[in-house]
Amino acid sequence: MLSKALTAAALRPIMLSILDRGEAYGYAIIRRIEELSDGRIQWTAGTLYPLLHRLETESLVASYWQPSESGPRRKYYRLTPKGAKALEAEKRQWLDVHALLLKLWGPEPAFG
Amino acid sequence: MFDLEKAIAAWRRSFEHRRVFSPDDLEELERHLRDTVAWRTARGMAPREAFEAALQEVGDYGTTETEYRKVYWRKVRHRHTLFSTLASEIAMLRNYVKIALRNLRKQKGFAFINVLGLAVGLAASLLILQYVVHELSYDDFHADADRIYRVRYDFFRDGEQVFKCATAFPRVGPTMKEQFPEVEDYARLYLRYGGGVVRIGDRSFDEENLFQADPSFLTMFEYPMLAGDRETALSEPNTAVISAEAAAKYFGDADPLGQRIRFGSDEEYTITGVAVSPENSHLKFHFLFSYATLIQKWGEYFDNAWGWYDFYTYLKLRPGADPAALAAKLPAYIDEQSEEEDAHERVRFVLQPLPAIHLHSDLIQEARVNGNATSVYFLGLIAFMILVIAWFNYVNLATARAVARAKEIGVRKVVGAHRGQLIGQFIFESLLLNVLAAGLALLLAWAALPLFNTLVGKDLALGLAVDARFWLALAGLFGVGALAAGLYPAFILSSYKPVLVLKGQFANARQGLRLRKVLVVGQFAASVALMAGTLIVYQQLAFMRSQDLGIDIDQVLVIEAPGVVASDSVYAETLPSFKQELLKHTGVKNVAASNEIPGNLIYSTRGARKVGDDPENNTIMYILRVDHDFFDTYGHTLLAGRGYSPEFTADSASVLLNERAVAVLGLDTPETALGERVRIGEDTLSVVGVVANHHQEGLQKAHNQIAFQLNETPRNYFSVKVSPADLPATLAYIEQQYAAFFPENPFTHFFLDGFFDRQYRADRQFGQAFGFFAILAILVACLGLFGLSSFTATQRTKEIGIRKALGGTVTNIALLLSKDFLRLVLVASVLAVPLVWIGMDRWLDTFAFRIGVSAWIFVAATALTLLIALATVSYQAIRAALADPVEALRYE
């Protein structure tokens, strides 16, 4: 399980990345994260929906209702162009951290 | 048994009353819950366990709410930007309306002054704008107006311009079309000068505005055709196109096409078309006769003469052609056509753009009295001045009243109003006042239209529903006014510091005082200028009408000479007996015949020089053909020699000149001129007399050189000097004799003094319009002054009370309150004087005989304005001074 702090920090990039792959509704997003992380990262609805709503107020995502065959309608979310830009920024930051950590953990001693 | 629906409903209820969950959010969460339950039951879990596990996963109410609460305010604000902002804006607007109306109601005087002032300003502007638009609309109904030019003829001698003429030579049109590829077409027009008698059956009418016109005239110009074919209507000799008015007058409802009319003694025309001749054109025609008639009846020189300048010549250039390039080719063309050496130094043709003719052309032989760009601009300026004065009123009164509203602003700011909102509110108030004013202005303009039409001598209709430009103008003036007048007070008022205001430390009543002073000075400078201008216009008019004309035109009855006579010889026999017969009546003192009368431009001109002078020295000479009785009838002053008399049988070879002609011909003095021989046109004549210059035209025009040639039977006019006693009987007698001697001719007559006076009509109208709008301007300015003075009086109520209690007299106090304003008016006068001086001096320069601008005009205008201002201010001042001091001191 991820620490609380890291979960919180990873919320935005994960959400934006998932929606970058295609439109989705909340429940599907949770299942997808679970699947992709082999159950190591699990979000609750109480985290997911407020996050989506926050991103919506920032105009990074947009939502719409879609009728469903299996029951009541579902609310779908998709990335806006502004959201796509925000994702690019997030990506760069995570890759920076990632690159740094790789170097630090690599075979070369960091301090000569 | 576990019921999933009941369980979900129960779950839902715990969320429903919390406002952080919108119905949308709940629906989304519920769907999430259902999905989770479905996923678990699908994997073999019992419904109850599946539901409980799902609840755990979704998170219980407590944790969920915390997360939702974090975004709640964001969501609220986000929604606001969409709907709530709109709702609150509308609510705010309603508040603005309410406050603005309340303010209007509370400050009736202020509202009245502003609305009335603005309405008067707007109404005046609208009316004048209509006039300006009409004046600018001349000839713009021709689709190709921008490539039609009139060829103007300028004549020079020794490099000096002798005259500028609206007409050119008959040969100009056809040869220019032939030689210059950029000329698409030409059209000539020949005015039948002096009009004539048109007969149909046994009815006959004296008509004016008759022209011979090339067939292309109808295709080049787009006068609307009501009947006939514009392509062919004037191609044949003896065909005519008549105006719609003429068609109605002659034929009523009958079809005019194919009807025959007779003109003069021996011309006959078949009507081939009816066209509309609109008012807004530099040409007004009633009859267009085919040009081919002229050539067939009188000869080819009507088609190819060079040097005979009686022919309006219009050119239509091809699209994109450069008129300047064409003009550059004209000198060579002139040299080639005239076959004289360096002819282009004497003859010059200028291309006048068609739309510019009405306002910018005042030449000899104009087809019609043209408009005057200067008066159009002057009136436009005046309208603008009135409007600006009204706007100044608003700014002045609004900033002056700022103190009274300071508390309101303070409270508004404390409760949370942004500065932008306050500015919006004040601009809205200005907008509201302007709406009221615009409505009232429409009413005023509509009511004042007949008066305005008499003032400017037009027949304008308010183009209300039909003309988009009218509404555009109204909207434009209204918008600019509301913004311009509203902006400054809005900024001032919204800048107050609430803490100071509410603590009562706000004593800044002097804020904006300097601006108010400047604006008042501006208003009254404009008023004084308009007043002085009016006085100068009227003084010049009075001067022109009181000057000695050099001849006596009182009690002169003019009869238009017969247009229909069997032949010249019959006319020559009839005229003397007609004159004899008239003189038998005791009321008739003199009878003279001439080709022109005073009050008319002399249309007939010839080249003239002293015998022995080089033909190069030819100068233009205006020719008056007169009979033996002309000088006796008009009473010219004889300076040397003699007048014409039947005793001198050889007078057909004599000429009388006026002083100016003596000077122009280089004959030195009247005495030395006697006996000299001069060449006028083809005639060589000897000078037998010299008369003093008389004013042939109004005093706008300088004296022209005139040669009086004897002609015992001149056409055009009979001048009858009558005695004032029993005029109706004399008139009846003359009419009876005229009918007996010249049957078939209508009896058209008028008194010469009235006829002469019509030359001043335009100037008189200008003066009236000037005066009228000057009064309006002063009225609006005084409205503002009245408002300001009443405001000052209220402000100083306490001071006045104390002064009175300490023994100040009513006079003292009234003076105290008035003198500030009067000082401003004085400053305004001082500023206005040089402007008016320069402006009016230029206007006066358009007159050949003019007054000087005298200082007393400014003294009078200043005194008058001061008096009006004093009356306005003193009402408030005296009222304040008379108030009971006890009341004043108890005030508060």
φ, ψ for residue B557, nearest 5 deg:
-95, 130
CATH of the domain at A53: 1.10.10.10
In the structure encoding, which two tokens stand for residue B848, read together? 């050949």
> Which residues in chain A are contacts of B75 at CB distance < 8 A?
53, 57
- Contact flag A53-B75 (C-beta cutoff 8 Å): yes
| Residues A61/A79, Cβ–Cβ less than 8 Å | yes
Residue with tokens 């508060």: B892
Indicate if the pLDDT at residue A71 is higher than 70: yes
Contact yes or no for A26/B47 (Cβ under 8 A) = no
Residue B752 token pair: 């010469």
B47-58 and B4-16 helices, crossing angle to 10° = 20
Contact in structure between B162 and B361 (CB atoms under 8 Å): no
Alpha helix ranges (H) inside A22-66: 26-36, 45-57
Q: What is the pLDDT of residue B244?
A: 93
Distance from the Cα of B516 to chain A's closest Cα (Å) equals 50
β-pairing verdict for B654-658 and B683-691: parallel
pLDDT (average), residues B867-891:
80
B453 to B377, B428, B450, B495: CA distances (angstroms):
17, 36, 5, 47
Q: Where are the beta strands (DSSP E) in A1-112?
A: 24-25, 61-68, 71-79
Asked if B349 and B312 count as a contact pair (C-beta separation under 8 A), the reply is: no
A7, A12, A27, A48, best to mutate vs chain B, most B CBs in 10 Å: A27
- Radius of gyration of chain A measured on its C-alpha atoms: 17
Of residues B31, B71, B77, nearest to A50 (C-beta): B71
CA angle B787, B788, B793 (to 5 degrees): 100
Find the CB nearest B67 among A25, A47, A57.
Answer: A47
Q: Across the interface, do B31 and A72 touch by the CB < 8 Å criterion?
A: yes
Number of domains chain A contains: 1
* Closest Cβ opposite residue B63 in set A25, A46, A74: A46
Taking only residues 45 to 104 of chain A, the set having a beta carbon closer than 8 angstroms to any beta carbon of chain B reads: 45-47, 49-50, 53-54, 56-57, 70-75
Q: What is the pLDDT of residue A109?
A: 60
Residue A110 lies in a domain: no
Per-residue b or e along B358-381, where b marks 16 or more CB atoms closer than 10 Å to that residue's CB: bbebebbbbbeebbbbebbebbbe
> What is the mean pLDDT of the segment spanning B840-868?
89
Comparing CB atoms, the residue among A31, A53, A73 nearest residue B71 is A53
Which structural domain, as residue segments, surrounds residue A87?
Answer: 4-105
Asked if the Cβ–Cβ distance from B74 to A54 is below 8 Å, we say yes
Selection from A98, A103, A97, A48 nearest residue A77 by Cα: A48
**Side by side, which strands form the sheet with A61-68?**
A24-25, A71-79, A61-68
- The predicted structure's pLDDT at residue B311: 93
Q: Does A111 reside within a domain?
A: no
**pLDDT category of residue B16 using cuts at 50, 70 and 90:** confident
Q: Does A4 touch chain B (CB under 8 A)?
A: no
- Beta strand B347-353 with B287-290 is unpaired
Please compute the mean of the pLDDT values over residues B261-286 and round it to a whole number: 91
pLDDT at B417: 80
**Distances from the Cα of B38 to the Cαs of A43, B15, B444, in angstroms?**
18, 22, 79
Mean pLDDT confidence for B567-572: 83
Q: Each residue of B711-728: pLDDT tens digit? A: 888 888 999 999 988 899
Q: pLDDT value at position B60?
A: 67
The yes-or-no verdict on residue B500 having pLDDT over 80 is no
How far apart are alpha carbons B192 and B314 in whole angstroms? 18
Q: Is the pLDDT of residue B505 over 80?
A: no
Identify the closest residue of chain B to A54 by CA–CA distance: B71
B36 contact residues in A (CB cutoff 8 A): 27
In chain B, residues 70-99 whose CB comes closer than 8 Å to chain A: 70-71, 74-75, 77-78
Percent of chain B predicted with pLDDT > 70: 96
Q: Tell me if A33 is assigned to some domain.
A: yes
pLDDT higher than 90, residue B774: no
pLDDT value of residue B181: 93
More confident residue, A24 or B846: A24
3-class DSSP assignment, residue B749 = strand
The 10s digit of each residue's pLDDT in B36-91 is 888 888 888 888 888 888 888 777 666 777 778 777 777 776 666 667 677 777 88
Residue type, position B646, single letter:
P
Average pLDDT score over residue span B284-298: 93
State residue B259's pLDDT score.
Answer: 92
Q: Considering only CB atoms, which chain A residues are within 8 Å of B77?
A: 57
> Which residue from B minimizes the CA distance to A51?
B71
Residue B823, chain A, CB below 8 Å: the answer is no
Of A29, A31, A35, A26, the C-alpha closest to A14 is A29
Q: Are strands B717-722 and B683-691 parallel, antiparallel or unpaired?
A: unpaired
Q: Does B28 touch chain A (CB under 8 A)?
A: yes
For B488, how many CA atoms within 13 A lie in the half-sphere containing its CB?
19
| Residue ranges covered by each domain of chain B | 4-78, 167-360, 373-544+761-890, 556-751
Query: Can you give the pLDDT at residue B411?
Result: 84
3-state secondary structure of B719: strand
Of B272-276, B507-511, B676-680, least confident by mean pLDDT is B507-511
Over residues B701-716, mean pLDDT: 89
Q: Taking CB atoms and an 8 Å limit, are B29 and A49 in contact across chains?
A: yes
- pLDDT tens readout for residues B65-77: 777 877 777 777 6
Residue (of B312, B303, B329) closest to B182 by Cα position: B329
Q: What is the mean pLDDT of residues B631-636?
A: 94
Nearest-by-Cβ selection for B58 from A45, A72, A73: A45
Query: What's the CA gap between B357 and B363, in Å, rounded?
Result: 10
Which of A54, A71, A74 lies nearest to residue B71, judging by beta carbons? A54
- For testing the chain A interface, which of B67, B74, B81 should be mutated: the one with the most A CBs within 10 Å? B67
CA pair distance B389, B778, nearest whole angstrom: 9
Beta carbons of B840 and B533 less than 8 angstroms apart: yes
pLDDT tens-digit map of B406-439: 778 888 888 878 888 888 888 888 888 888 888 8
Taking the C-alpha atoms of residue B784 and residue B774, their distance in angstroms, rounded to an integer, is: 16
Rounded to whole angstroms, the Cα distance separating B768 from B775 reads: 11
Over residues B873-884, the mean pLDDT reads 81
Assigned token pair, B73:
């305010």
Q: Tell me, what's the pLDDT at A112?
A: 46
Least confident residue range of A59-68, B93-102, B207-216, B457-466:
B457-466
In this predicted structure, the answer to whether residue B332 has a pLDDT above a threshold of 60 is yes
Q: Which DSSP category does B80 fall into?
A: I
Q: How far is the CA of B159 from the CAs of B162, B343, B344, B352, B536, in angstroms? A: 9, 12, 11, 21, 36
